[in-house]
Amino acid sequence: MGRSMSHILQTVAELEDHGVGFRSLTENIDSTAPTWRLVFHIFRALGQFERDLIRERTNAGLAAAAARGLKGGRPIAVTPEKLNRARQFMAAGLNVREAAARIKISRSALYDALKAFRYNGRQYTVNL
């Protein structure tokens, strides 16, 4: 019926929203009975509590990492040296695809790097 307990509870809640009760023939569970409605509500509250705890811990971990000077995400593919070399290749007549292939980065990464360092139509050499 579901991938996890929270998924099952969500499915049962959606069924109840449409006026459909859930009844398991093998486990003797009936979501329309008052006792099982209480149990489902408690399970849903516990699931929400667990999600909130995970979110809180994740945010605390990210804040602690940022305080230590760490930055999450993938490493930057285009270093200032690669960007300057790509600009030199393009000034020599290569297109973006060819310049990206020469410095061994993707074409989209080079486009993103070029776009990030444009200001009022002029390009500046910057240190990342």
For the chain, the structural domain boundaries read 5-67, 80-123
Per the document, the length of the chain is: 128
Helices (H) and strands (E) in the chain, counts: 5, 4
With residue 112 as reference, give the H or E element that holds it: helix 107-116
Residue scoring higher pLDDT (93 or 16): 93
With residue 7 as reference, give the H or E element that holds it: helix 5-17
**What is the mean pLDDT of the segment spanning 9-24?**
82
**Does the pLDDT of residue 126 top 90, yes or no?**
no
With residue 9 as reference, give the H or E element that holds it: helix 5-17
Strand 29-30 relative to strand 23-24, pairing: antiparallel
CB 63 within 8 A of CB 35: no
Nearest to 117 by CA among 128, 107, 108, 106: 128
| pLDDT given for residue 21 in this prediction | 82
| pLDDT given for residue 42 in this prediction | 87
**pLDDT band of 128, cuts 50, 70, 90:** very low
Residues 17-42 have pLDDT tens digits of 888 887 878 887 787 788 887 887 88
Residues 64-118 have pLDDT tens digits of 999 999 888 887 788 888 999 999 999 999 999 999 999 999 999 998 888 877 6
| pLDDT given for residue 120 in this prediction | 45
